[in-house]
Structure 1
Amino acid sequence: MILHKKATLFIGLLIGFFAKAQTQDFTHYVNPFIGTSNFGATNPGAIAPRGMASVSPFNVAGKQNVLEKDSRWLSNPYVNENTFLTGFSHVNMSGVGCPDLGVILSMPTTGELVTNHLDYGTTYKNEVANPGYYSVELDKYQVKTELTASTRVGVSRYSFPAGKANVLLNLGLGLTNEHGATLKFNSPTEVEGSRMVGSFCYNNAESAYPIYFVARISEAPANYGIWDKPAKYDGVEGQWMGYNGKTRLKEQFMSEVVGDSIGAYFNYNFDKPTQVVMKIGISYVSIANACENLDKEVGDASFEEVYKHTKQAWNKKLSVVDVEGGSDDDDKTIFYTGLYHTQIAPSILNDSNGEYPAMKTRAIKHTDGTRYTVFSLWDTYRNYHQLMSLLYPQEQLDMVNSMLDIYDQNEWLPKWELNATETFTMVGDPAAVVLADTYLRGITDFDVDKAYKAMLKSADTREGNPLRPGLGEYIDKGYVSVDSHIKGPVSTTQEYNIADFAIAQLAEALGKKEGAKRFKKRALSYKKMYNKDSRFLQPRMSDGSWYKPFDPLAGANFTENPGFIEGNAWQYLFMQPHDIKGMIKLMGGNQKFEEKLDALFAEDQFDMANEPDISYPFLYNYLPGKASKTREKVDELIAQYFTNQPDGLPGNDDTGTMSAWLVYAMMGFYPMTPGEATYTLTEPQFDTVTIYLNADFYSNTTLTIKNESQADGAQIKGFKVGGKLLKGSQVSHKNWVEAGEVIFE
């Protein structure tokens, strides 16, 4: 096999990465269509692990929903129910709830050149998706399209019939609200440019930024050019008017073209069926870096060679856990698809040369490691980063260092960072929890003094604090009031409590006794919002009175509630994972707590798609003799919400958070308390789960979990951890990873 010399580095890096021979193809168990319906917001396109580039079918700008550009369906480029495809986008996110990216669309067509996506779009059939690969047949053109990707390069292969053919590159279409693009032909087979994106969740619109690209095509065209006019919508007639746009002869556009809805085309007239390959390198720094990424990672490598190496990369990632048994043929597919989804975001921001844009200024910075991005921390602090610490500790360490880089450049820890911009989405101070939790799990090779300093800044700065608005009132009164006009004051107070608990845990580990004492006390202030009459956490006014009227059901399904964010009083009632014993006592003891928890489920107030309450099924483990309820409830939820179907996620995957819940639940343990290195245990869904631990971080290289409770009517004895019977259902992370073997009897 002969590869382009510029692809040598890419291939060389992979040699060491795949030194350990794989005896099992774990990618066979992944179904990328899971989560493409029911607002799961995943897509079935081709992506490498943590890829900057991803190539996804784009079917959310079709005729049936063209006027719904800002609808919830459009937070992702692909929805399983849609049927009208208008191209293949090269920069996408997975499992997010707001629209952004979904840009740099390629599209193969046949016949005469048409540049209006509503006219050249088509229905399609015979979709196939595997990790790193996607293919589809386009009905209108009888063209088979295949997609694959390396980390920073998207690769498409179009199988054209004989006759007239076109490859289009549309810079006007996308999910982002921003406009503006540049385009320049360097040769008949290479075009470069940029596309503006930004304003995720419609926040911080002034921070729009460019994505740079270089696209190369394998076959020299008979003609090539640009279009620079958008399609026009006739609001009077209520229909789109087909408009091909203005085209220019190739001699006239060798200089750069700038516009809002521009695109490039390549024309062919094939005398026989022909395959055309397009490779698009991506960068957030410069066109030169996009070109370098393309050269280093792919070069002249064939479509098959790129896919082979990406498939190997996926197999390596998925092989960290080996499961056997299970009650259903789909169990492995559901499990490994969940693990697959956890390896998409956070994604890689830096180019192959280590350069990436800095926060605020977007000045070029350099890393010798990996600068990650897409930190959806309100979601991921609860379980996702704990899973990364266990299964992929080097990645988690790089993510922590990425957060500290963000602090250096932005003067604050991230809240919801995307491509070197802060989107300020959701509430709380989640980065503090992630930093503390990581350190307490034994991943300590980062500047913990800087981390602690950054955490204190967000925890103690009363004025002008972007992470903790209303902090002064919270410190003085123990809660954020309704009349402070801070969004979701009860939820916000709870989030501050959890962050303060994590800071206290880290302070204690660092020997900072005064800090530990101070933040432990602050972490318990949720009790001031518990109304013993209503038996709920309830919003309070600044004068201390209860907010009225109070409706514990208000706020579900994204309806407005004066006290809560994306949920109601039921769904936030038990969100004190750091003080479970205190919460049980506050609610009147074990029996009354259990009754209230039972009512949550019985009255259909539990929301499996809602982060604040996803840990609640495991709360039964903290009630004497009630662990069986955790097992029953977890089994029920997996069966109901996680299936081998496009709607097989309970809702938005939230950059892998829901998938992380599933992976943990199926393995039989869960990190109940963010900021505390412990797990609560339940019955695994498989007969055997073998976790291969990273020897650079853990003394044991394997942890084997065995389920020996399959006999009908067998009495549950408990867990043997490292040969010793465990009292209760809780175990420390340290004892867990050093156990070697765990048996559920």
Structure 2
Amino acid sequence: MNYLKVALFVALCFGFVATAQQKDYTQYVNPFIGTSNFGATHPGAIAPRGMASVSPFNVAGPQNVLEKDSRWLSNPYVNENTFLTGFSHLNMSGVGCPDLGVILSMPTTGELKTAHLEYGTTYKNEEAKPGYYSVDLDKYDVKTELTASTRVGVSRYSFPAGKANLLLNLGLGLTNEHGAMLKFNSPTEIEGYRMVGSFCYNNAESAYPVYFVARISEAPQNFGIWDKPATYEGVEAQWMGYNGKTRLKEQFMREVVGDSIGAYVQYDFEKPTQVVMKIGVSYVSIANARENLDKEVGDASFDEVYEQTKKAWNDKLSVVEVEGDDADDKTIFYTGLYHTQIAPSILNDSNGEYPAMKTRATKKTDGTRYTVFSLWDTYRNYHQLMSLLYPQEQLDMVNSMLEIYDQNDWLPKWELNATETFTMVGDPAAVVLADTYQRGITDFDVEKAYSAMLKSADAKENNPLRPGIAEYIDKGYVSVDSDVAGPVSTTQEYNIADFSIAQLAEALGKKEDAKRFTKRALSYKKLFNKTSGFLQPKMSDGTWYEPFDPLAGANFTENPGFIEGNAWQYLFMQPHDIKGMIKMMGGAKKFEAKLDALFAEDQFDMANEPDIAYPFLYNYLPGKSYKTREKVADLIDTYFTNKPAGLPGNEDTGTMSAWLIYAMMGFYPMTPGEATYTLSAPQFNKVTIHLNSDFYANDTLVIQNVSENPTKVSAGFSIDGKSIKKQAITHKEWVNAREVIFE
């Protein structure tokens, strides 16, 4: 009997485990969130951290004709658009500048047309979930379904009976690079490359190829190529054509090179037929694209690929379990978590090879080489979240940044596919490296990292990461007549980086460096004008820049002192010196009044990074923590919804989603470079975080909100039964806790 009880107990336990593992978290993800209101996400199919993604491409229709660089569009899809011209296989998500959106497939029926405005169509019945997208094309009565593995995009087209075409367009894209190549290896395999790399329409001379191999499941009756405006097929150009009967000629292997080229295959179906196209991609070579295709997908069916990708998404999303009655809250939370797993994305091929910085020579990694480091955005909260929820990924990102340093002599600023875009200001990599180490993720060459940080912090000449550094070191600020963009913002960013270097120096026992950089980190005070009550641009001779308008610079308008913001939105951006900032502004009451005015006068911008931590500043004022909880709850309700416009603006490669995830879990990493959290209030009854046991001694952290009204929870909370009164909780305390109760 005892053995039976044990057997029954074991069976029940395994049953519960299986049930937990089988829970489908993808049901809570709505990939359409962020596809409106300039969120710059897309609803296409992608695997976690995928190199390849297959997205509907609807930004080249009659309502917004996209002929190369005629319009600034940073993503392939906008929810309000209604005209679709294909499905692109390399895309970015949540960025503020255009690039990629290339290698477009498109099913059509009837007469062959190769101009996108002629073959494009309206559409209906869109469906999107992690790893899957489908749509019905009105003009052709074709259902298109998309899925993807890490480096392969897979499309399934359900054609009606009759004449049909499948196009592969290498001419369309989001930016103005020139050049592509393709050739048929057989009637069902096409290989080639497409030039990309003009991020923000700059540095076009650094364009580089992305390679592909495309395979089609059904042999066509005919196929050929077009080189705008001419089309070549059949007997008119036999070396490019094939009629299904004649022997393939040797000349057929000839490559076609051009700017607006494409390939097509043609069918005449006797009955409705499904055709599957698989496209493997690589930034190294055609051979690697083929290897990626063979290794990741091979002969697997569309459904098999989708099921594997769905499982991969569930593995990622199940790291956090939330409990509550509001279905929309769960959807916006898990969609946020989904968005954080798109970028940074994987650059290396399945064999470990990737292109090196500068030379694009082939290198090989034993781990994962990540790319799309939008660090001005992500240093503030995103990488802290990765350290908590996905520490192995964060470690690989740090090692990727150090590989970039080895190859490029400088840490990354805004790296994309092994090119440095030099977008935005500051020295954000220093913050990420220091913060990661402070959180106990230390299995990287910290001495190399520290040396790299010192190089960017101290090199006065030919310093691409810190323009104006010599003046900053000498005077404590960058002047408005220094020809450095946004000198006040730049000074503040250098301060935050220097604070982070000081924290790492202290941890490494480098006491003199710690003192030096701590002092440098406080130089923002030299730009505070007591008369105006703001940080204000200064001339190189030390006089204040006039005329000064604290409202100028909002909504991306020009301001001589600031980048992407105005004096209001940068006023409190000293999270490393909150006490000093309060004192500088005249004490807690005056500080609170100024912070209140920021919100009351509608100067807080939830859609941009400099001020997104400001709601949490009330926690540092005696008796005012309730304002943090109220502001955070109100911001979530106002800006994050289960709708296409459900983000406050540009998703910024996971930064806005990281803010949301932290805010909904009830805590936030207030000070980049310092491993601490400040508290707000969980938006769920219960949050369970499954910690990575390779990095943390504790495997589970449970956060419970026992208040009747979660958004109005009182100030009291406890960790493992011990009441806590302090403002900041260390990361170590947090990950070692078993249970946190807000009550």
| Stretch of structure 1 that moved more, 576-585 or 712-721 | 712-721
The answer as to 2:286 corresponding to 1:277 is no
- Is the contact made by 1:70 and 1:99 (CA closer than 8 Å) also made in structure 2? no
CA distance in 1: counterparts of 2:739 and 2:591, whole angstroms: 33
- Is the contact made by 1:502 and 1:675 (CA closer than 8 Å) also made in structure 2? yes
Equivalent residue number for residue 354 of structure 2: 356
Q: 1:713 to 1:76 in 2, by over 3 A?
A: closer
- Is the contact made by 2:713 and 2:742 (CA closer than 8 Å) also made in structure 1? no
SS in structure 2 at match of 1:484: coil
Equivalent residue number for residue 687 of structure 1: 685
The answer as to 2:398 corresponding to 1:400 is yes
Could you tell me how far 1:366 is from its partner in structure 2? 0.3
Correspondent of 1:618 among 582, 602, 616: 616
- Is the contact made by 2:625 and 2:715 (CA closer than 8 Å) also made in structure 1? no
- How high is the TM-score relative to the length of structure 1? 0.94
Equivalent residue number for residue 461 of structure 2: 463
Q: 1:71 to 1:98 in 2, by over 3 A?
A: farther
SS in structure 1 at match of 2:223: strand
Could you tell me how far 1:329 is from its partner in structure 2? 2.5
CA distance in 2: counterparts of 1:568 and 1:501, whole angstroms: 23
The answer as to 2:720 corresponding to 1:722 is yes
Equivalent residue number for residue 369 of structure 2: 371
AA at the equivalent of 1:212 = Y
Equivalent residue number for residue 126 of structure 1: 125
Correspondent of 1:425 among 423, 426, 437: 423
Deviations 1:568-601 (A, max 9, x none): 0000000000000000000000000000000000
Equivalent residue number for residue 240 of structure 1: none
CA distance in 1: counterparts of 2:596 and 2:288, whole angstroms: 56
| Match runs of 1:541-556 below 5 Å | 541-556=539-554
Equivalent residue number for residue 704 of structure 2: 706
CA distance in 1: counterparts of 2:30 and 2:679, whole angstroms: 28
Could you tell me how far 1:683 is from its partner in structure 2? 0.7
CA distance in 2: counterparts of 1:281 and 1:725, whole angstroms: 55
Equivalent residue number for residue 528 of structure 1: 526
Equivalent residue number for residue 315 of structure 1: 314
Deviations 1:104-158 (A, max 9, x none): 0000000011100110000000000000000000000000000000000000000
- How high is the TM-score relative to the length of structure 2? 0.95
| Match runs of 1:13-32 below 5 Å | 22-32=21-31
| Match runs of 1:39-438 below 5 Å | 39-66=38-65, 70=69, 74-230=73-229, 245-247=231-233, 248-249=237-238, 250=241, 251=249, 253-326=252-325, 328-438=326-436
Aligned length: 714
Deviations 1:74-97 (A, max 9, x none): 100000000000000000000001
AA at the equivalent of 2:147 = T
Equivalent residue number for residue 504 of structure 1: 502
Q: Percent identity?
A: 83
Q: 1:711 to 1:414 in 2, by over 3 A?
A: closer
CA distance in 2: counterparts of 1:67 and 1:77, whole angstroms: 11
Q: 1:101 to 1:659 in 2, by over 3 A?
A: same
CA distance in 1: counterparts of 2:136 and 2:167, whole angstroms: 17
Equivalent residue number for residue 472 of structure 1: 470
SS in structure 1 at match of 2:564: coil
- Is the contact made by 2:528 and 2:535 (CA closer than 8 Å) also made in structure 1? yes
Could you tell me how far 1:201 is from its partner in structure 2? 1.3
AA at the equivalent of 2:430 = A
Could you tell me how far 1:179 is from its partner in structure 2? 1.3
AA at the equivalent of 2:309 = T
Equivalent residue number for residue 440 of structure 1: 438
CA distance in 1: counterparts of 2:703 and 2:261, whole angstroms: 56
Q: 1:146 to 1:713 in 2, by over 3 A?
A: closer
Gaps of 5+ in 2: 1-16, 242-248
- Is the contact made by 1:61 and 1:69 (CA closer than 8 Å) also made in structure 2? no
Could you tell me how far 1:253 is from its partner in structure 2? 3.9
Correspondent of 1:633 among 588, 609, 631: 631
- Is the contact made by 1:415 and 1:425 (CA closer than 8 Å) also made in structure 2? yes
AA at the equivalent of 1:61 = A
Could you tell me how far 1:21 is from its partner in structure 2? 6.5
CA distance in 2: counterparts of 1:681 and 1:712, whole angstroms: 13
Equivalent residue number for residue 241 of structure 1: none
CA distance in 2: counterparts of 1:306 and 1:573, whole angstroms: 50
AA at the equivalent of 1:437 = D
CA distance in 1: counterparts of 2:715 and 2:215, whole angstroms: 63
SS in structure 1 at match of 2:327: coil
Could you tell me how far 1:65 is from its partner in structure 2? 0.5
CA distance in 2: counterparts of 1:659 and 1:70, whole angstroms: 29
CA distance in 2: counterparts of 1:534 and 1:70, whole angstroms: 42
CA distance in 2: counterparts of 1:143 and 1:168, whole angstroms: 14
AA at the equivalent of 1:256 = E
CA distance in 2: counterparts of 1:188 and 1:645, whole angstroms: 43
Deviations 1:663-717 (A, max 9, x none): 0000000000000000000110000000000000000000000001116998824
- Is the contact made by 1:152 and 1:294 (CA closer than 8 Å) also made in structure 2? yes
AA at the equivalent of 1:155 = V
CA distance in 2: counterparts of 1:187 and 1:512, whole angstroms: 63
Could you tell me how far 1:68 is from its partner in structure 2? 7.5
CA distance in 1: counterparts of 2:679 and 2:640, whole angstroms: 20
- Is the contact made by 1:203 and 1:424 (CA closer than 8 Å) also made in structure 2? no
CA distance in 2: counterparts of 1:279 and 1:712, whole angstroms: 47
Could you tell me how far 1:721 is from its partner in structure 2? 1.3
SS in structure 1 at match of 2:659: helix
CA distance in 1: counterparts of 2:441 and 2:268, whole angstroms: 58
- Is the contact made by 1:116 and 1:245 (CA closer than 8 Å) also made in structure 2? no
CA distance in 2: counterparts of 1:26 and 1:713, whole angstroms: 24
Deviations 1:310-348 (A, max 9, x none): 00000000000000015x330000000000000000000
CA distance in 2: counterparts of 1:51 and 1:447, whole angstroms: 27
AA at the equivalent of 1:145 = T
Could you tell me how far 1:20 is from its partner in structure 2? 10
CA distance in 2: counterparts of 1:495 and 1:205, whole angstroms: 28
Equivalent residue number for residue 601 of structure 1: 599
The answer as to 2:588 corresponding to 1:590 is yes
Could you tell me how far 1:491 is from its partner in structure 2? 0.1
Deviations 1:336-391 (A, max 9, x none): 00000000000000000000000000000001100000000000000000000000
The answer as to 2:649 corresponding to 1:647 is no
Could you tell me how far 1:69 is from its partner in structure 2? 5.4
Could you tell me how far 1:19 is from its partner in structure 2? 10
Could you tell me how far 1:631 is from its partner in structure 2? 0.5
Q: 1:460 to 1:713 in 2, by over 3 A?
A: closer
Equivalent residue number for residue 452 of structure 1: 450
SS in structure 2 at match of 1:74: coil
SS in structure 1 at match of 2:63: coil
Q: 1:179 to 1:217 in 2, by over 3 A?
A: same
RMSD (Å), alpha carbons: 1.4
Deviations 1:275-304 (A, max 9, x none): 000000000000000000000000000000
CA distance in 1: counterparts of 2:444 and 2:436, whole angstroms: 10
Could you tell me how far 1:254 is from its partner in structure 2? 2.0
CA distance in 2: counterparts of 1:555 and 1:68, whole angstroms: 31
- Is the contact made by 2:292 and 2:349 (CA closer than 8 Å) also made in structure 1? yes
- Is the contact made by 1:501 and 1:675 (CA closer than 8 Å) also made in structure 2? yes
CA distance in 2: counterparts of 1:483 and 1:712, whole angstroms: 50
Equivalent residue number for residue 5 of structure 2: none
Could you tell me how far 1:202 is from its partner in structure 2? 2.4
SS in structure 1 at match of 2:559: coil
Could you tell me how far 1:176 is from its partner in structure 2? 2.2
Q: 1:28 to 1:183 in 2, by over 3 A?
A: same
SS in structure 2 at match of 1:175: coil
